[in-house]
Each structure stands twice: as structure tokens, then as C-alpha cells.
Structure 1
Amino acid sequence: MKRRCHITALLGAALLGTAVPVAAIAQDYGRPVLGADRGDQTRARDGVRSGRQAPLSRVLSMIAQRTPGRHLNTTQGDAGGRPAYFVQWQLPDGRVVVFVVDAESGQILGRQGG
């Protein structure tokens, strides 16, 4: 019932042209909402080319060496005022964790979920 109310609210807001924080709705169900857009890809590419940002391939390799599983998705944002990668990773048992990685140094800052 709660889910139906959220979906109804989301659809109603979309029809009215009002922005609804989708992440807030999805958090009720324990699912991380992550999805890269073209802006994320462009910022990452520009950052790597200029040397300001660690390549995502290096970040993913580092995570894979430490944690079995597979890469699902990555978005960019900031963590503590610094640019960060948010890497969604599926563990062998099916659980999903999100690694927060400093985009400049490539160091893992933390892990959520799982």
C-alpha cells in the first residue's frame, strides 16, 4: 500500500511538472538509486584527461582486488566537499554495496549497504 502511494505521488507530480526526489522514495525500499547520465561521463572523462581525477578503470580494479563481485553502475557526486565516485557493486551472494571513492586520489572513503 505504501509503495502504491509513493508511485501515485510520483506520477501525479510528473503530470503537474513538479520535481519529486526519486532517491527519497526509493530509500524507503532499501535500494540505492544510482544512474550515470551523460554529464557524469563527460565530467569523468575531462577530469581524467586533465589529471585531476583517477580513471574509473583503476578504481574498479582496486575494488575487484579487495572485494569479490561485479560492477553494476557508477555515478559521480561529492563526499565531504570533494569529488567522488559512487560505485555500485554486487557481491557474490547478491547483496549490493556502494563504495564511496575519492575521485582525485582513487582511495576508498567508505562503503554503504551489503
Structure 2
Amino acid sequence: MKRLFAIAVLLAGAAAPAVTQAQDYGRPVFGAGRGDQDQAREGVRSGRQAPLSRVLAMIGARYPGRHLNTTMGDAGGRPAYFVQWQLENGRVVVFMVDAESGQIVGRQGG
């Protein structure tokens, strides 16, 4: 029984790096991890970050389409929202938005 447990632990440890590497599929991974929502809520509550609803409204006014996903991350040492947005023509754009000012600081795709 102990031997089976030891083998299971070794296999789990050996498989973890492969799973981590496979999840990004060679693309840049945006976002800081599981604490994104808590970090964002605290930032908005304390006045350090723009609310995501305001950011999405601003993007929607400039670029008609729909919101697909958002993650938190870092852009040049500052907190940032990475907003995945589908334009009306079907193309997908990732907007990098400075979380403190709420301004778009970059975009990828589209």
C-alpha cells in the first residue's frame, strides 16, 4: 500500500510540469492567477483601480462588439486588465487596459 502511494506521489510530481507547460499552448499567458477577482475587488474598493464595468463600457463605446473574458495582470509594473473582446466582424482583440487609469494602453489582434 505504501509503495502504491509513493508511486502515485512521484507520478503526480512528474506530471505537474507537463500540465503547466501544455496549458499555455505557446501563447502568452495573461493574468496573475486565481486571486484576480479578489485583487480587482480590493483595488476598486480602495479607489486604486477603475471598475471593470467602466472599462467595458468605454471599450464598447469605441469598438462595438462583445466582451468574452477578462484577466488581471501586470503591464510595465502596473496592474492591468487584459480584456478579450469580439468585434462585430468576428475578429477577437485583447485590449490591455491600465487598471488604475482605465485607459487602453495596448491591443493585440483584430
TM-score for both structures, normalised by structure 1: 0.75
Identify the residue that residue 75 of structure 2 maps to in structure 1: 79
Aligned to 1:42, which of 38, 45, 62? 38
Q: Distance in 1 between matches of 2:32 and 2:44?
A: 17
Amino acid at match of 1:52: R
Secondary structure of 1:74's counterpart equals: strand
Unaligned runs of 5+ in 1: 1-12
Secondary structure of 1:104's counterpart equals: coil
Per-residue Cα deviation, 1:54-94 (whole angstroms, up to 9, x for no partner): 00000000000100100000000011111000000001111
The CA RMSD over aligned residues, in Å, is: 2.4
Secondary structure of 2:55's counterpart equals: helix
Q: How does 1:84-99 map to 2 (within 5 A)?
A: 84-99=80-95
TM-score for both structures, normalised by structure 2: 0.77
Identify the residue that residue 21 of structure 2 maps to in structure 1: 20
Q: Distance in 2 between matches of 1:73 and 1:33?
A: 13
Residue correspondences, number: 97
**Structure 1 segments of 4+ aligned residues over 3 angstroms from their partners:** 32-38
Q: Is the 8 A contact 1:36 1:74 kept in 2?
A: no
Identical aligned residues as a percent: 72
Amino acid at match of 1:20: Q
Q: Is the 8 A contact 2:81 2:99 kept in 1?
A: yes
Identify the residue that residue 62 of structure 2 maps to in structure 1: 66
Aligned to 1:101, which of 97, 104, 107? 97
Unaligned runs of 5+ in 2: 1-11
